[in-house]
Structure 1
Amino acid sequence: DIDRLLPEIGHDTPEVTDPFPERIQAREAELRAVWALADLRNDRIRAVTGIEFRPLDDSIRDCVESLLSVAGVKPKVREGFIRPGAV
């Protein structure tokens, strides 16, 4: 998602791995199947409290931008990536 939301930073997305033992993976699959049947809605809480939830993409983008500018985190950049405007 970082590369999709902020392509200008050239984030080198790592390969997805699953280091958990098979028993944990099986339990996760079981729980995901249970939650897949649930109807998750936030309209009731919004109606009662007036809270407006931010889209997840906005939260991810703001978090990454904050990590870069405030915390000084240096992202791992794709090989051969040249930042726009850098010469």
Structure 2
Amino acid sequence: MAGTTDQREYSSTIDIQLRVEGRLLDVTQVSESFLVLKAPAFVPPETEAEVIIIVDGRPRTRKIFLHDGIYPNDLRVTFL
């Protein structure tokens, strides 16, 4: 006779954003040195910004420096 076990699957809700120049930009991927934006944007070089990663409603932030800025023709953005 097989026993029944209550196994519930759980998946975290994750949201990533870039706060820069008073705007919040949606991010699809982030690593230690680059991120990928969901939509094109322009931010001038040498701008400070903040990556916000929200896991299950709990935000964590990291200050970054956009040495090269962000240009609309490139969704992949490098940072320091």
Highest RCO, 1 vs 2 (Cα 8 Å, sep ≥ 6)? 1
User: Shorter-normalised TM-score: what interval?
Assistant: under 0.3
Give the TM-score taking structure 1 as reference length. Answer: 0.19
Q: Which structure shows the bigger proportion of residues in helix conformation?
A: 1
Report the structure number with the largest CA radius of gyration: 1
Q: Which structure shows the bigger proportion of residues in strand conformation?
A: 2
Give the TM-score taking structure 2 as reference length. Answer: 0.20
